[in-house]
A and B are shown apart, each in its own frame.
Chain A
Amino acid sequence: MTALLEAKGLKKTYRMGKVLVPALQGITFDVSEGEFIAVFGPSGSGKSTLLHLLGGLDRPDEGEVSVDGISFSTLNDNALAEVRLRKIGFIFQFFNLLPRLTALRNVELPLTLADLPEKESIKKAEAMLKLVGLGDRMDHRPSEMSGGEQQRVAIARALINSPKIVLADEPTGNLDTTTGGEIVQLMKLLNKEKGQTFVVVTHDPAIAETADQILYLKDGMIQKMKKGRRRL
């Protein structure tokens, strides 16, 4: 299997006032197509920073990220936005839906940004919402939906442009155990049935254990890598 995502020697330091806080201190790993990877670690271990770098939301101080053979360091901001649009899907802990748009419009947003005609994009978004089990909640706004439902909308939005890879940042962190479990199951299902590649940041060992591969992150470094049990 060729690597879909490659991270090489990623380093990132934040400046908090006068203090330099090293968030990542040299991270190297690959993700192959169809893999479900968990990045596991305590808070402050640099998980989110890593995810931002992998998704091209931020740029590393040193090192290199490439997705689908495209090296981020060669891209300007616009081109990077284009990569985020077409090749990467994001799922966040706090769902991050646009509060004033309906579920349907939220899911449709990436298609709109990709200049798909409205008729087509609505059709696709409807199908995607049905896939995540929200066929009957399309015209609801985020404030009218439960956390689990919102996260499903977010997943639908992440998948709508058929991205190469979906990056999830604590997707269950803001949900109760049962709902969280359902969300994990949904992601696993998409991974298994559609071969969708996932990189999930979590500090929930229950999720981590179901992954193909687990990256243990501590103090900005990979402590160990382990094969997961890969079960639903």
Chain B
Amino acid sequence: MRLKRIFSMAWENMKQRRLRAFLTTLGVVIGITAIIALASLGEGFRVSITNRMEQGFELDVLTLIPGTLFAGMKEPFTDSEVANITKVSNVSVATPVMQVGSVILYNGDKNVTAFVGAAVNFTEFVEVFPDRFRFEEGGMPEQIKNDTLIIGHKVNHLNETEPAFAHPNDEVNMTLTINYTDYVPIFRNYTFTVAGTLEKTGTAGLTSFDYWVFIPLETARKIYGDVTDLIFVKVSDPELSETVAEEIEALFPPYRLTVLVPLTFIQQVNSILNMVEIFLTSVASIALLVAGIGIMNIMTVSVMERTREIGILKAVGAKSRTILTMFLAEAALIGIVGSLTGVPIGYGLAHVLSYVLSGFVTPQQNHVFQRPEVERAAVTPIFSWEWAIIAVIFGILICILFGLYPARKAAKLDPVEALRYE
């Protein structure tokens, strides 16, 4: 008997036992709904976290700091070391940075503290961070002067309601700590001319420059000497960042430096999120298993009720395999209808859940220096065809698997016994 006819007969059968078919299918719908809801929420969660991290970290930028957390010399890098790193293959730029500590800026009667004062080679720095260095006002001067100053967004706008701290061409006084005598800092004042102020760089990360001010490396070296506190290395391809990191490490004696590779970090977080996602969906799959048992239960009853019918079919000439297929077709139909219904409902549920959950999660706002960012910490569920197809196949397979026992029971019935069944 043709499969198409078997399926249309199974469909007719289900239509004539609407309530039973509905309830059995409902179990599958719930199972698939749970799986899709959790999977698309999990996927959305993962993407939003990865996005945030990618905003916070340039994936193609390695950060090199001298020494390690526990051992090694924490001596600053030398220029020859920087030059060696530039020679490593796939390194496009290696730029030295000197940290001048936190600085206080004065503009007329206004003053502000910048938590990070960095002395950089502007030309190279812009090459490394083209996306971070977007100017709100002013811009990179054609000729870098000794007194060029670029101000990070939050330094300039510590309070959004108040006017900006400085504008381009303002002359700003900066107090730098130049030395210590008996632990007492010695300050000296310098005057810089503001070349530009930066746009907000967004999510806080290792390289969020909102609280930074930048002065030319040459200027700082005149004051402090040839000191390099950290090196930013731009690689030509983020995928190669781990290889490049290994090659750089190989250039130096052990414990000389630490290379921070954002990709590794993101990959680790990603794999953790992956595990969480798989765990959640396996929990949801239990619902589907319960639905499968429901199907087995209902179908076993159904086989008993239809014993005589099976006898008739056999007498008329239906093969055992045909009977088996007929019952499996009913199970499969329940699976198909239930799964296909469950996918959109699950996706919808994910949206509802994400909205409801966002009410419970308050956005991060307890950072001492940061003003609260007013945004809903919502996760947008992500629909993935892959997950949908896997869930539908899984749903149908479960139904067929649990339908197998009753269907085999039906197929094995002795025709004479079955015909005699009242």
Q: Which A residues are closer than 8 A to B by beta carbons?
A: 52, 55, 57-58, 77-78, 81-86, 88, 90, 92, 96-101, 109-110, 112-115, 118, 157, 161
Please, how many angstroms separate the alpha-carbon atoms of A88 and B415 in the complex?
15
Is there an interface contact between B416 and A110, defined as CB atoms closer than 8 Å?
Answer: no
Please, how many angstroms separate the alpha-carbon atoms of A115 and B317 in the complex?
12
Task: Identify B314's interface contact among A81, A83, A88, CB under 8 A.
Answer: A81
Q: How far is the CB of B303 from chain A (nearest CB, A)?
A: 15
Is there an interface contact between A98 and B312, defined as CB atoms closer than 8 Å?
Answer: yes
Can you pick out 9 interface pairs between chain A and chain B where the beta carbons lie within 8 Å of each other? A58-B416, A78-B319, A83-B317, A84-B314, A86-B317, A92-B419, A109-B316, A110-B316, A113-B318
Q: How far is the CB of A206 from chain B (nearest CB, A)?
A: 26
Please, how many angstroms separate the alpha-carbon atoms of A97 and B314 in the complex?
12
* CB-based closest 7 A-B pairs: A85-B317, A84-B317, A81-B319, A57-B415, A96-B312, A58-B416, A90-B315
Q: Mark B1-22, 1 if CB is under 8 A from A, else 0.
A: 1100100000011001000000
**List of A residues within 8 angstroms of B315 by Cβ:** 55, 57, 84, 90, 92, 96
**List of A residues within 8 angstroms of B321 by Cβ:** 78
| Residue ID in chain B nearest A53 by CB atoms | B416
Is there an interface contact between A100 and B317, defined as CB atoms closer than 8 Å?
Answer: no
**List of B residues within 8 angstroms of A84 by Cβ:** 314-317
Is there an interface contact between A52 and B416, defined as CB atoms closer than 8 Å?
Answer: yes
Is there an interface contact between A90 and B319, defined as CB atoms closer than 8 Å?
Answer: no
**List of B residues within 8 angstroms of A88 by Cβ:** 317
Q: How far is the CB of A16 from chain B (nearest CB, A)?
A: 13
B309 on interface, CB distance cutoff 8 Å:
yes
Main secondary structure of the interface of B (DSSP, over half): helix
Please, how many angstroms separate the alpha-carbon atoms of A90 and B2 in the complex?
23
Is there an interface contact between A115 and B316, defined as CB atoms closer than 8 Å?
Answer: no
**List of A residues within 8 angstroms of B415 by Cβ:** 57-58
| Residue ID in chain B nearest A55 by CB atoms | B315
Please, how many angstroms separate the alpha-carbon atoms of A99 and B1 in the complex?
20
Q: How far is the CB of A176 from chain B (nearest CB, A)?
A: 22
Q: Given A58-B416, A81-B314, A84-B315, list of 12 further CB < 8 A pairs?
A: A57-B416, A58-B414, A78-B320, A97-B312, A98-B312, A100-B13, A101-B12, A112-B2, A112-B5, A113-B313, A113-B317, A114-B317
Is there an interface contact between A115 and B416, defined as CB atoms closer than 8 Å?
Answer: no
Q: Mark B296-322, 1 if CB is under 8 A from A, else 0.
A: 000000000000110111111111111
Please, how many angstroms separate the alpha-carbon atoms of A90 and B416 in the complex?
12
Known: A52-B416, A96-B308, A100-B12. A57 touches B314 (CB 8 A): yes
Is there an interface contact between A82 and B316, defined as CB atoms closer than 8 Å?
Answer: no
Please, how many angstroms separate the alpha-carbon atoms of A99 and B313 in the complex?
12
Known: A92-B419, A100-B12, A100-B13. A110 touches B317 (CB 8 A): yes
Task: Identify B317's interface contact among A81, A92, A96, A99, CB under 8 A.
Answer: A81
Please, how many angstroms separate the alpha-carbon atoms of A99 and B318 in the complex?
17
Q: How far is the CB of A84 from chain B (nearest CB, A)?
A: 4
Is there an interface contact between B319 and A112, defined as CB atoms closer than 8 Å?
Answer: no
